[in-house]
């Protein structure tokens, strides 16, 4: 196994891992000893891609359930996406452009986080405050249903009502409830509240609904409602769990709504998928990422994992990854039923913001963390720091520098300080925030999780732990 310290795609995503390996870190010997298990993990994940099943994975009803996350990248009939489904999304995007004033995406967990990631990456800051022309005719975007929070919901109603009263009426609103099960409390209640409010004010609002849900009439209340009310419905296919659905209809509908290039996003995902399926050992970036963190946890007690994106737009990507890691690998038992209490606690950090808070703990606290930096090499909007204070020597340090140069200096300084103290860290690098590279990164993270599930022998595709509170909550609510 040749360890070069950096691996990735030519001209694309890179994984720099040299600060995870060495004396006091993950040793080369430990990695070599893991090689047979890594080989098995490669075979198992190839099997998932081909057969669509993962060893011992069952749905929450106890029946075998497909695992289709790699298939999202391949446009083929029978896969989560095909040519027809992409064209349907593109048509929806074209129809909404210029005609829809605001779209409210209503979902939680996997039915929210992926959409928020795409929104943050596809739009300019303060999107909803920009004039429509600056938004190229694309709608304002709001999020609801990602909590049970009446104040937040009132805030959306009030904001849209004020727009209708003072700017334009009726406002053309698209409500987009997203729920795979079609029965989740948070999105259903928020959707119901928004729909009834808007329908009771036809002088202010024209409301349309586009539902995204599992197309199973018996199981999904949302799908039944869509059929009864003739709302267009987009599927969340069987085999795509919430935390993996950013690359199928839920996430892609947000892309369509904002003109974000779906085909490039999936092309990048496909490139990463192909690389992972074709390579082994240290040539496989996701396998290496998974193996190093597995060993860091097992041998060095690194049971906290920080994803620290440099730039505000990357914060929600961290939140999306938190769900992916926590739900996939946080498991009480392995696939043989043995109690293992596996998984790391995921943490989102943002550079440089959290260098003024969490970094103290990363640098001096317990040696139980892997810090992963996420860097975007080329900024979307370069901006030079002018110097209105030429007499101030202290300001000369920053004067006439490009903001991105300052950001990079901060990242490198953080990385160097951790490394000099023997702290585990790695860097993920994207050339720029273009959809293709985002697709590569998302697939890299999904494959990393899949490989680590194999190494730890846990089911990375179920989430039995969330059923415990749901049972208690439903019983309480049923009491009235
Ligand atoms: O990953 C998951 O499965 C969960 O986080 C779900 O996405 C979340 O609970 C929402 O479920 P649903 O889409 O059925 O409303």
Residue nearest atom 5 of ligand 1, based on CA coordinates: 109
- Clarify whether residues 270 and 254 are in a common domain: no
State the angle between helix axes of 249-258 and 262-278 in degrees (0 to 180), rounded to the nearest 10.
140
**Does 136 reside within a domain?**
yes
- Clarify whether residues 251 and 282 are in a common domain: no
Which pLDDT score, from 0 to 100, does residue 91 have?
Answer: 98
**Does 81 reside within a domain?**
no
**Does 88 reside within a domain?**
no
- Kindly state if the Cβ of 220 falls inside 6 Å of ligand 1: no
- Kindly state if the Cβ of 110 falls inside 6 Å of ligand 1: yes
**Does 337 reside within a domain?**
yes
- Clarify whether residues 269 and 356 are in a common domain: yes
Which pLDDT score, from 0 to 100, does residue 76 have?
Answer: 95
**Does 79 reside within a domain?**
no
Exposed, middle or buried, 159 (CB in 10 Å: 0-12/13-18/19+)? middle
142 alpha carbon to ligand 1 midpoint, in Å? 19
- Clarify whether residues 289 and 363 are in a common domain: yes
CA–CA separation, 265 and 154 (whole Å) = 34
- Clarify whether residues 104 and 209 are in a common domain: yes
Give the residue numbers spanning the domain of 106: 98-258
- Clarify whether residues 195 and 212 are in a common domain: yes
Residue nearest atom 15 of ligand 1, based on CA coordinates: 179
- Ligand 1 atom, smallest distance to 241 CA: 3
- Clarify whether residues 243 and 386 are in a common domain: no
At which of 258, 274, 291 does a domain end?
Answer: 258
Which pLDDT score, from 0 to 100, does residue 59 have?
Answer: 87
Which pLDDT score, from 0 to 100, does residue 393 have?
Answer: 87
At which of 258, 283, 301 does a domain end?
Answer: 258
- Clarify whether residues 278 and 184 are in a common domain: no
- pTM assigned to the model: 0.96
Distance of CA 317 to the CA centre of its chain: 5
Q: How many domains does the chain have?
A: 2
- Does 356 qualify as catalytic in the annotation? yes
User: Domain with 295 in it: what CATH number?
Assistant: 3.40.50.10490
- Clarify whether residues 328 and 180 are in a common domain: no
- Clarify whether residues 32 and 103 are in a common domain: no
**Does 407 reside within a domain?**
yes
**Does 74 reside within a domain?**
no
- Clarify whether residues 254 and 268 are in a common domain: no
The parts of the chain modelled with pLDDT lower than 50 are none
At which of 213, 230, 258 does a domain end?
Answer: 258
CA–CA separation, 321 and 449 (whole Å) = 10
Exposed, middle or buried, 245 (CB in 10 Å: 0-12/13-18/19+)? buried
CB 174 within 8 A of CB 194: no
- Clarify whether residues 353 and 461 are in a common domain: yes
What is the SS3 assignment for 331? strand
Residue of 476, 453, 468, 436 whose CA lies nearest to 10: 436
Which candidate in 327, 375, 415, 454 is catalytic?
A: 327
CA–CA separation, 313 and 309 (whole Å) = 8
- Kindly state if the Cβ of 139 falls inside 6 Å of ligand 1: no
Which candidate in 356, 386, 393, 479 is catalytic?
A: 356
**Does 296 reside within a domain?**
yes
CA–CA separation, 242 and 110 (whole Å) = 4
């Amino acid at each position: 196994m040749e360890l070069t310290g950096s691996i990735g795609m030519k001209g694309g995503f890179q994984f720099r891992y040299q600060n995870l390996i060495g004396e006091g870190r993950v040793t080369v010997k430990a990695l070599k000893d893991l090689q047979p298990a890594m080989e098995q993990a490669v075979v198992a994940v190839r099997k998932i891609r081909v057969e669509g099943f993962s060893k011992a994975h069952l749905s929450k009803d106890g029946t075998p359930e497909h695992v289709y996350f790699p298939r999202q990248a391949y446009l083929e009939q029978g896969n989560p996406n095909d040519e027809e489904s992409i064209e349907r999304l593109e048509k929806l995007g074209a129809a909404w452009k210029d005609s829809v004033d605001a779209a409210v995406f209503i979902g939680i967990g996997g039915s929210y986080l992926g959409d928020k990631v795409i929104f943050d990456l596809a739009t300019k800051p303060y999107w909803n405050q920009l004039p429509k022309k600056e938004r190229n005719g694309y709608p304002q975007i709001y999020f609801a249903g990602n909590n049970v929070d009446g104040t937040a919901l009132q805030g959306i109603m009030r904001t849209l009502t004020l727009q209708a009263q003072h700017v334009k009426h009726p406002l053309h609103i698209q409500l987009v409830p997203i729920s795979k099960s079609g029965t989740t409390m948070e999105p259903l209640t928020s959707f119901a509240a928004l729909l009834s409010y808007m329908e009771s004010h036809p002088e202010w609002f024209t409301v349309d609904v586009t539902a995204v849900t599992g197309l199973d009439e018996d199981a999904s209340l949302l799908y039944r409602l869509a059929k009864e009310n003739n709302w267009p419905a987009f599927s969340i296919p069987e085999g795509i769990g919430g935390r993996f659905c950013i690359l199928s209809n839920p996430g892609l509908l947000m892309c369509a709504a904002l003109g974000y290039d779906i085909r490039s996003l999936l092309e990048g995902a496909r490139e990463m998928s192909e690389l992972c399926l074709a390579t082994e050992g240290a040539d496989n970036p996701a396998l290496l990422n998974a193996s190093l963190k597995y060993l860091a946890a097992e041998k060095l007690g690194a049971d906290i994992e920080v994803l620290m994106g440099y730039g505000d737009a990357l914060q929600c990507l961290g939140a999306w990854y938190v769900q992916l890691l926590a739900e996939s690998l946080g498991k009480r038992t392995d696939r043989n039923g043995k109690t293992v209490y596996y998984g790391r606690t995921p943490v989102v950090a943002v550079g440089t913001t959290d260098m003024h808070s969490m970094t103290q703990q990363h640098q001096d606290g317990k040696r139980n963390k892997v810090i992963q930096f996420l860097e975007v090499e080329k900024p979307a909007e370069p901006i030079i720091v002018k110097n209105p204070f030429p007499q101030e020597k202290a300001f000369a340090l920053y004067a006439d520098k490009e903001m991105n140069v300052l950001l990079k200096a901060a990242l490198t300084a953080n990385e160097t300080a951790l490394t000099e103290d023997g702290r585990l860290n790695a860097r993920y690098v994207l050339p720029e925030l273009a959809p293709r590279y985002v697709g590569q990164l998302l697939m890299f993270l999904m494959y990393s999780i899949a490989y680590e599930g194999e190494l730890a022998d846990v089911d990375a595709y179920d989430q039995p732990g969330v059923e415990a509170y749901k049972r208690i909550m439903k019983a309480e609510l049923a009491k009235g």
